[in-house]
Amino acid sequence: MITVHHLNNSRSQRVLWLLEELGLDYEIVRYQRNAKTMLAPPELRKIHPLGKSPVIQDGEVLVAESGAIIEYLVEKYGEGRLVPPAGTSDKLRWRYFLHYAEGSLMTPLLMKLVFDRVESAPAPFFVRPIAKAIAGKVKQSYILPQIKQHLDYLEGELAGSEWFAGSAFSAADIQMSFPLEAATARGGLDAERPRLAAFLQRIHARPAYQRALERGGPYELLR
């Protein structure tokens, strides 16, 4: 039995979705973020030294990191599903987007989250204007242009296909879901990017996605 160490409102929702797409049996061990800091609880460090989620246990095997978990599950249990054939250009795109999602796209989105909180964080009255001005400058000069560049790029990548790794839905689309949902939560998708909006509508309509929400519980990304 596969065990998913599942943190609420986190990347581990993708893992539940993948397991539902593959039709695998699994159990969930639930963890809740600290209501004030929004950090994972210290109990997760008993599972993995970094105390992050997702982490899965499959017998004696412990796997962390979303991309590594996805590759492990599709290689061991996929039987050719959710991955393009080896040696094809679609397989190369599949691997690219599997790593791009966290390696490139999530970085400016996470920075925006951090600097948004710097702008609104409590501070002495004489410090607050300085902190807010610095945070605003960093966002306007670097973070927001980076997010726009990435989202414009992805909008273009969907011009020739509904999915990121070719004509068929794949695990790369599952991996890409979290940063695009995060971008939506943080105001990054609008009418100028109809293909990305349609992509999110398609994945949200999938029965396996809906089943994963039922199993995982409330899912609201941080803003």
pLDDT tens by residue, 56-115: 999 999 999 999 999 999 999 999 999 999 999 999 999 999 999 999 999 999 998 888
Q: What is the per-residue pLDDT across 201-213, written as a single tens digit (0 to 9) for each?
A: 999 999 999 999 9
Residue 218 burial (CB < 10 Å; 0-12/13-18/19+)? exposed
Report pLDDT for 208. 98
Report pLDDT for 117. 78
Least confident of 38-42, 85-89, 147-151: 38-42
pLDDT at 127 over 60: no
The C-alpha atoms of residue 101 and residue 222 are separated, in whole angstroms, by 17
Closest CA to 147 of 204, 185, 121: 185
pLDDT band at 126 (very low <50, low <70, confident <90, very high): low
The C-alpha atoms of residue 190 and residue 182 are separated, in whole angstroms, by 13
Q: Is the pTM of this model over 0.85?
A: yes
Structural domains of the chain ordered from first start: 2-83+211-216 (3.40.30.10), 89-206 (1.20.1050.10)
The C-alpha atoms of residue 92 and residue 89 are separated, in whole angstroms, by 5
Q: Which residues of 109-133 are buried (b: 16+ CB within 10 A; e: fewer)?
A: bebbbebbeeeeeeeeeeeeeebbe
Residue 118, sorted as left (phi over 0), alpha (psi -120 to 50) or beta, turns out to be: alpha
Q: Give the 3-state secondary structure of residue 57.
A: strand
